[in-house]
Every structure is written in structure tokens, then in C-alpha cells.
Amino acid sequence: MAHGGNKLHTALILIDCQKAFLSGGWARYFGLDQVSPIKSAFANTLDLLRSKEKLSGCDILCTKCYTEGDEADFVDELLPFLRDTPCVWKPNTNITQNPRFHDWFKDRLGAGVRTVVIGGCTTTSCVRVSSQAIRKLYPQGDLRVVVDLSLCGARRDNLLPNADQDPNLVRIYGRDRCKGLSPVDLAKTQMKASGVDVVDSFDWEYHQRSMQ
């Protein structure tokens, strides 16, 4: 059901807004000092979910990755807004690997969705992979796939211009392309090259006016 009761035109996909990325095993593995960008992204997501007028005509899907115990839960601040939201579990970094995603998404496309906005974590992993997979599998010219960076988080080190120090990134992109860029910069470049719109912050108010 579209928020606000208006005709459905937009989908918002929130990837893995789970405690694991703030205080769970993932966060502890990389260091709790690394999660501030993710915390900021979740705060922006909370602000958006509180702004019901911005989400009029928008339907929401959440994902979760497989973690154990309480850390699989949504973060406390977002839980009241997401507990009744449809949710699919990702078997890996790619949301489209779960058939339930396609059931949900095709139903929304049939109802009129032509813009899908993606947020969550992490920018360099599940957001990067899932956004490109959606764009590839649903190449319709009238469908816009958007990654809203204000709703996306990555660990602090992945925002530093140190990509040339990561052997995996050097293997994928080449050392020259990695020099002076961060892993997030490379993720943004890859998504854009795949036809995904990558924006600093999606203008929900302008979007709503354009749908009227």
C-alpha cells in the first residue's frame, strides 16, 4: 500500500538497516570507530521515514542479511517504522538472488512504480551490487534506479582515498584508476557506468511535485 494513500509511483528499498552494522559482529570486526557514516545514514533514513508527505505514493521494502541473534534486528530507532514493512532476506550481497524480491518488485512495477530509490549499507557492497543487479534485470527505459548516498553508509576507511592500497580493488580497477580515490568513489563510478543514478541526496519534495 502506497504511503499517504496516493497512487503508487515510487519504491524505496532499504538494505540491511540492522544492528550488526552499528554494534554487532560486523561492527566489532572492523572497529566501532568505523561505523559513524552508517549511523549518519540511518539517522537520515529516520528523518525520511518521519516525513510521511515525502513518501506519499511510495512503497517500501527492507532487506536483511543473515546474522545471528539480536544483531539481525533493525536498529532501535528505525524499528517502529520498519517492523511491519515487507522484508526479504539476502542470501549474499545481491537482493535479486531472492525470488521474493522479484515477486514484490514486479507487483509494484505493475502498479505504476517508475522510480526506485535505494539506501542502506554498505555502499561498497550490498548497495553497489544490488542496485546494478536491479538495473540490469529491469532495463526498462522508463524505470529510474537511484542510489541516494545520504541514506547509504560505509565504514570510515572506505571513504578515504586509499583504494590503491587494497589489492582486490587494484585487481579489479587497476592501480592508476584507484590512485587518489576511495572505495566509495569507485563504487559510485561503477554504479553510474551501469546506468544507476547516484545522487548525494534524492530530492523527494521535487519528485513529489513532478508526480502530481
Beta-carbon neighbour count of residue 196 at 10 Å?
A: 22
Predicted structure pTM score: 0.95
3-state secondary structure 115-171: EEEEEEECHHHHHHHHHHHHHHHCCCCCCEEEEEEEEEECCHHHHCCCHHHCHHHHH
| pLDDT of 1 | 54
CATH placement of domain 3-156+195-211: 3.40.50.850
In whole angstroms, give the CA distance from residue 192 to residue 131: 10
Q: Can you give the residue ranges of every domain in the chain? A: 3-156+195-211
| pLDDT of 4 | 52
Report which of 49, 80, 51, 27 is spatially closest to residue 151, judged by C-alpha positions.
Answer: 49
- What is the pLDDT tens value at each position of the chain, 212 positions in all? 566 556 899 999 999 999 999 999 999 999 999 999 999 999 999 999 999 999 999 999 999 998 888 999 999 999 999 999 999 999 999 999 999 999 999 999 999 999 999 999 999 999 999 999 999 999 999 999 999 999 999 999 999 999 999 999 999 889 999 999 999 999 999 999 999 999 999 999 999 999 88
| pLDDT of 88 | 97
| pLDDT of 43 | 98
| pLDDT of 66 | 87
In whole angstroms, give the CA distance from residue 151 to residue 183: 17
| pLDDT of 172 | 87
